[in-house]
Structure formats: structure tokens, C-alpha cells
Amino acid sequence: MRQFCQLFRQLDRSTGSHERVAALVAHFGSVPPEDAAWALHCLLGKQRRRLLTARRLREIALDATAMPEWLFQASHAQVGDSAETIALLVGGNAESASGLATSPQEGEARVDAALPLHRWMERILPGLAALPEAEQTLEIQRLWRGLSAEEVLVMVKLLTGSFRVGVGAGLVIRALATLSGLESVELQQRLMGPFEPSAAAFNELLRPDPSQERPSSRPYPFFLASPLDAGRLSDLDPAQWLVEWKWDGIRGQLIRRGGAGFLWSRGEELINGSFPDLLEQANTLPDGLVLDGEVLVWPAGQERPEPFAVLQRRLGRRSPSATLLRSMPAAFVAYDLLESEGIDRRKEPLQRRRERLMQLLASGVSGALRLSNDLPLSDWNDLEAWREKARDAGAEGLMLKHLASPYGSGRRRGSWWKHKLEPMRLDAVLLYARNGSGRRANLYTDYTFGLWAAADSTEADAAPLASSPLEGTAPGDGTAAPGQQRRLVSFASAYSGLSDAEIQELDRWIRRHTTERFGPVRAVAPELVFELAFEAVQRSSRHRSGLAVRFPRISRWRRDKPAAEADTLAAALALIPH
């Protein structure tokens, strides 16, 4: 455990990729394989479910320190992270400052931290979750007294399932490649799908020639596109490129091997349970087949798929009802063939893989399995014309793929490009603000914005702040007649898009213009206007405005625009595709 915490510290404090890879190589090469397996499991974000809640651990910390809850909350507001707050208060190296009710017994202090990581992950942490509440409190406090603040931090994050460190899977795989001498692509392939954290699994992962056959359910690493560099188009021959819609669903691989079907998301989740209709379709396909494509909700006979929000209602259901399956039928839109007849086809050029895919689906397109059609392109001037039609087609842009390209892994520039739609934009009024987290815990960085609606509008409920509506309306916005009162309606929340200097300036303004407080939230005078960018908008009964937006962020501070000229709810409604 102590070595893993030291690795956590090194990764957290280093900024260069070479330094991080070196730390990972040193760790994986120096610890027993069972510990290396668990470290890999955690670093890849595959740790087990939450064992204890952050609230429960906070209660134990309050009991250990005899600290009033208001003081803990104040400390948390300064630190910005619950696990770090607990660690600073109860870690063994902070006893004098934290006021722990008891001190560690002789010889106990560092024994637990010296136990190997696999012992913690397989016995100690699960054992804590199984204890009765009173025993659990005492045992956790005993462990805390023997750990440094840094070790408490890691322990709390592992217990709550929130362990994260700023290292991507690519760096971890680079380190394993350096250690083993294997190619990164091969390691990435071996790590697709579930990984059992055991000594045997770790040794097998790094073995030059694996002794076991690859599981039939295992997908291939996904090949990712890069944002289009439009300046390069003039140097390219459009006849050598395939153009198709960039669908707004979830990327997946539909597999038929060993007489069974499997559906994997790009996030390496097996989502068979959520899409039994697609698995039923997979069972009609020939064995030894892997398709790359998009999972969408797309009823038969409908010209375009349903919005992404409809698909989300299917994702969380492990056993969807027959009613749900009928009302929200899933479709798999295939755009590549990675394996057929049990043969890996990824090194073949896209044009040949595409021919195989079209031949496979030539027998007809069903509601559940569709071919992603190519879009004809005579010259590059046609590209923007197709892009302008993407939203009407239920897509979020275009994909450009070189016909000679093999199917690679990860993101490699040059072969596949994505040309997304410009985001939707509206000018909204700042209504509320709350503290951020981490290094921004002392600043107001999370914001809620509103749009104008007529005072008697039935589209949405007004925000509490809007009790002092402004008179009149912007010309032609359709939300209120001249002279009619208007109100501001909460529309979207965003926390990204401003520079550090703008955040500091806005924080000072918020503190000076607060009108009400609701716990950690401040209502502010409705005076500032910001342009919000987002990918989509749709109706939602769960939001105050009656609308939900996707990926909202701040695109600019509209210092030139008064609040009375901000956009309206009617303008947002007009953005919904019909």
C-alpha cells in the first residue's frame, strides 16, 4: 500500500509524460505481480464499486476529531475535496493538529501501511464495508491513525470508488510496453474488456506469447478520428476519401464469436443487458464477425434517429421492459468491418473492409442493423453543404476517412477526420454561482444562467430570482407583448470557458452583487450576460425551463450586451429540430 501511495504522489506532482512513464515503469517492475495487477486496475479506472459513502467517512472523521460539522464544512470549502479534507484532519502525521480523540497503540502506527496493496484491496477494504457500524468506526479510525495524510487520502478514494490520478491509459500502456518489450498496440488489445487483478493475469498480460487464447468476447481497440484541419483539404483528392455522417449515439462493437453475441461500448463496457434487441440481431450474423458502428434509437420507417437523450434512457436499463423496447427500438449503424470469418481484417484498406461490410448487409437492412451510407462528394465544396444538413439528419457532423487507411488504434492524425457542427449559441443572464472544487474551492466558478420568458408563460417555472422582472422585451423575440412583464428562467449551468483572469474578476463581482444565499449557492443581481455554447437542446420535464442542453459551456463574456437584450426561451425552443 505504501509503495502505491508513493506512486500516487509521484504521478500527482509530476507534469512531464517521460517522468510519469518512468515512475510507472519503476513501480510495475519493483512490486509483486499481484500488487502490480491491482495498481494497473486502479490506474485504468477499473476499480471496484463504492464500498462506503463519503458521508459515512465524514461521520467517522467527525467522531475521530470531535470537530463540529460546521467546521468540517468550512474546511471542506477551503480544500475543495472531501477525501483530502478527511486526510488532512485525521492522517497519522496530523494528529497534533486534528485533535484525534485517541493515539495509536505502540507498534501499530505503520504496520498497516506496509501491508501489500492486494491485501488492502482484497481483504482490508472489503472487510471494513462488512463490519457493523460501531466496529467499522473503530477499525477505520485505528487504520487512519497508522497512515499518513497521503495514505488516508488514497484509502478514502479507494473506499468511495473515486480514485483518480491524472494519467491516461496511453501513458500506462507505454510504461507496460517499456517494461515488457511488447508493442503498445498489442498491449492495448490485450487490455480491452475486463481485466482480473491477479498475479496470473498480470504475468499473462506481459508474456511475449500468451499461453491462453484470447477471450471470444474481447473487442478490438477503437480507432479514433481527429478534428479536421480544413486548411489541408486543398492538398487532398476528394476521390480518395469516404464521407459519412457522424452519428450522435454511442460508439460500439457488435461481436459474433463462438456462437454468442456481444456488444461493447467505446468505454469498454459490455452493454448486452441494455440492448437485447441488438443481441437478437447479432445472433443472425455469421460467426467470427466484428462490426464497428454506432448505437442509436432509430424506429423502423423513421427518416432520422432519435436524439441522444432518448438513447440515454436505454443505457441505464440492464433489463429493459418490452414496452421500452417497442417505444425506443435500438439500431446498430455499422460503418466498418474489423473481423470476418474469424480473420482480423484491420490491416486491410478501408475500401476493402467497406466492400465486405456492404456484401454482408446486401441481403437487406433491418430496423436493428443498418449500413452507414456514404455521402457523394464531387469536390471539397460539397463538404460544407453536407455539413449544413447534418442536424436535420440527426447527426452531429461529418466523418472523413481515407479509403486506403487501415483500422488503427487510438487517435492517429491523418487517416480519419471528424468535422463537427458548430455549436448552438445563446446569450444568457447569470443568475446563480457556487464554489468550485479542488484548486478553485475558494472561487465562485460554477454558474447557472437564465433566459427571458413572458411572465405568464406556461413553458416553464420561473427561477426564484426572477421575482423582479424587467419590463418590455427585445424586438421580435415573441415571448411577450410590448409592455408585458418578463421573468428570467433558469436554463443551463456551466463551469468552463472563462480564463483565470476572468474567473477572478467574476468572483469579485459575485461577492459584491449577491442578493440571496441558499446554502453554498449565491443568487446575484441579473446584470451580466454570457454567450453559452452547447451541442443540442431538447424538451425535458425535469428542468425548470422545460429544456435540457447538452455539453453547455461559456464561449465568451458579453460585456457589450445589457441583460434586457439576452436571448429568450422562445429562441431556445426554436433550436429544437422538428
Cell representation of residue 576: 429544437
Grid coordinates representing 440? 478553485
DSSP secondary structure string, 255-292? EEETTEEEEEETTS-B-TTT-HHHHHHHTTSPSSEEEE
- 199 within some domain: no
Co-location of 401 and 428 in the same domain: no
**What is the DSSP-derived secondary structure letter of residue 463?**
P
Tell whether the model's pLDDT for residue 96 goes beyond 80.
Answer: no
Supply 243's cell numbers: 464521407
At residue 458 the predicted structure's pLDDT band, cuts being 50, 70 and 90, is low
> Using CA atoms, how far apart are residues 196 and 38, in angstroms rounded to an integer?
9
Residues 484 and 462 in one domain: yes
> Does the structure show a pLDDT above 90 at 70?
no
How would you write 355-380 as a 3-class SS string? HHHHHHCCCCCCCCEEECCECCCCCC
Q: Is the pLDDT of residue 551 over 50?
A: yes
Does residue 260 sit in the same domain as residue 391?
Answer: yes
Say if residues 436 and 80 touch (Cβ distance below 8 Å). yes
For residue 456, which of 446, 469, 465, 444 has the smallest C-alpha distance? 469
Tell me how far apart the alpha carbons of residues 73 and 61 are, in angstroms, rounded to a whole number.
12
Closest CA to 244 of 361, 350, 347, 345: 350
**Would you say residue 173 lies in a domain?**
no
Sign of CA dihedral 494, 495, 497, 502: positive
Say yes or no: 337 and 287 in one domain: yes
Whether 431 shows a pLDDT value over 90: the answer reads yes
Angstrom distances, CA of residue 562 to CA of 479, 481, 520, 567: 18, 20, 27, 11
Domain that holds residue 526: 424-573
122, three cell numbers: 482484497
Supply the pLDDT for residue 99. 43
Q: What residue type is assigned to position 124 of the chain?
A: I
Query: 240: domain CATH number?
Result: 3.30.470.30
Domain boundary among 389, 420, 451: 420
pLDDT tens figures, 291-306: 999 999 999 888 899 9
Residues 6+ away with beta carbon under 8 Å from 379? 238
The answer to the question of residue 12 being in a domain is: no
User: For 484-488, which contacts have Cβ atoms below 8 Å and span 24 or more sequence positions?
Assistant: 484/454, 484/455, 485/454, 485/455, 486/452, 486/453, 486/454, 486/455, 487/452, 487/453, 487/454, 487/455, 487/457, 487/462, 487/463, 488/429, 488/431, 488/450, 488/451, 488/452, 488/453, 488/462, 488/463, 488/526
CA distances from 44 to 40, 195, 380, 447, 458 (A): 6, 10, 40, 31, 47
378 and 314 share one domain: yes
Residue located via cell numbers 425506443: 328
Name the band, by pLDDT with cuts 50, 70 and 90, for residue 288: very high
Distance CA 140, CA 125 (A): 10
In a domain, 36, yes or no: no
The mean of the pLDDT values for the chain is: 84
Residue 104 has pLDDT above 50, yes or no: no
Residue 418: φ, ψ to 5°: -120, 135
Task: Based on DSSP, count helices (H) and strands (E) in the chain, helices before strands.
Answer: 22, 21
Q: In whole angstroms, give the CA distance from residue 507 to residue 444.
A: 5
Same domain (yes/no): 260, 124: no
487: phi then psi, degrees, rounded to nearest 5: -140, 155
> What confidence score (pLDDT) does residue 474 get?
38
Say whether pTM exceeds 0.75: no
pLDDT in tens, 47-65: 667 889 989 999 999 998 9
Same domain, 246 and 392: yes
Return the pLDDT at 92.
66
Asked whether the beta carbons of 541 and 485 are under 8 A apart, the reply is no
How many whole angstroms separate alpha carbon 259 and alpha carbon 398? Answer: 35
Report the C-alpha gap between 535 and 47 in whole angstroms.
Answer: 31
Q: Is the pLDDT of residue 540 over 90?
A: no
Q: Is the pLDDT of residue 538 over 70?
A: yes
Residue 170 confidence (pLDDT): 81
Domain membership of residue 353 (yes or no) is yes
Q: Domains in the chain: how many in total?
A: 3
**What is the pLDDT, as a whole number, of residue 242?**
94
Nearest CA to 121 out of 239, 240, 212, 40 is that of: 40
Cβ(433)–Cβ(517) under 8 Å?
no
Q: Is residue 473 domain-shared with residue 373, that is, in the same domain?
A: no
Ranges 146-150, 185-189, 437-441, 482-486, most confident: 146-150
Q: Is the pLDDT of residue 440 over 60?
A: yes
- Nine cell digits for residue 526: 441579473
3-state class of 293 per DSSP?
strand
Last-in-domain residue among 106, 126, 160? 160
Q: Is 169 exposed, middle or buried (0-12, 13-18, 19+ CB in 10 A)?
A: middle
Quickly state the pLDDT bin for 438 (edges 50, 70, 90).
Answer: low
Please tell me whether residues 436 and 407 are part of one structural domain. no
Task: State the pLDDT confidence band at 186, using cuts at 50, 70 and 90.
Answer: confident
Helix ranges (H only) for 50-168 are 54-65, 69-79, 82-90, 95-98, 111-114, 117-119, 125-130, 133-145, 149-160
Residue 177 lies in a domain: no
* Residue 438 and residue 387 share a domain: no
298: phi > 0 → left, psi -120 to 50 → alpha, else beta; which?
beta
| Residue bearing the bigger pLDDT, 508 or 210 | 508
Same domain, 534 and 475: yes
Structure confidence at residue 363 as a pLDDT band (50, 70, 90):
low
- Quick one: what percent of the chain has pLDDT higher than 90? 39
pLDDT at residue 114, rounded to an integer = 81
Last residue of a domain, one of 368, 390, 420: 420
- CATH number of the domain enclosing 538: 2.40.50.140
DSSP code at position 464: G
Q: Are residues 252 and 338 in the same domain?
A: yes
33 neighbors 202 (Cβ within 8 angstroms): yes
| In a domain? residue 321 | yes
Assigned domain for 34 exists:
no
- Distance, in Å, from the CA atom of 465 to the CA atom of 487, rounded to the nearest integer, reads 9
Rounded Cα distance, 557 and 14, in Å: 33
Which residues face 539 on adjacent strands? Answer: 547
